[in-house]
Amino acid sequence: MRGAIRDFIETTTPYRVCDAVADSVSAIQQATESRCDLILLHLREPIPDSVGTASFIRKKLPHIKIVGFSTLPIDLGNWVCPEAGFDVVLAKQDGLSKLVETLKQLMPEPPRE
């Protein structure tokens, strides 16, 4: 599913998404090695792992936008943004159209070359 979302974003927007990875260590490694514009980070239990990952990436790569996705039944947006490093947190149930709309608001300028 992560790869399908990445492909959808890259075919409908001008932005590059970090490759799909399964864990926080891989996400940090991929973010530092790639030239991506955006990271989609799944918020899952335990929440501090996702928040720590976003915070680490934000400090190391402040130019990358970080969007959190959550299926958790609580509203995490106000809790994890922006202090934890997320630019925005969306519910997965909002769908891809909400994601693309949000990206256009977050990233109105063309991506860097």
Cβ pair 2, 77 in contact under 8 A: no
Element (H, E) at 69: strand 65-70
Determine, yes or no, domain membership for 102.
no
44 is a domain residue: yes
In a domain, 104, yes or no: no
- What CATH number has the domain bearing residue 71? 3.40.50.2300
Tens digit of each residue's pLDDT (9 = 90 or more) over 45-101: 555 677 888 888 889 888 888 888 877 655 555 555 667 788 888 888 888 888 888
> Domain residues for 17?
2-95
31 assigned to some structural domain: yes
pLDDT digits (tens, 9 = 90+) for 6-56: 788 888 888 778 776 777 777 788 888 887 888 888 776 555 677 888 888
Domain count across the chain: 1
* Rounded Cα–Cα distance for residues 89 and 70 (Å): 7
Domain-located, residue 109: no
Is 80 inside a domain boundary?
yes
pLDDT score recorded for residue 25: 79
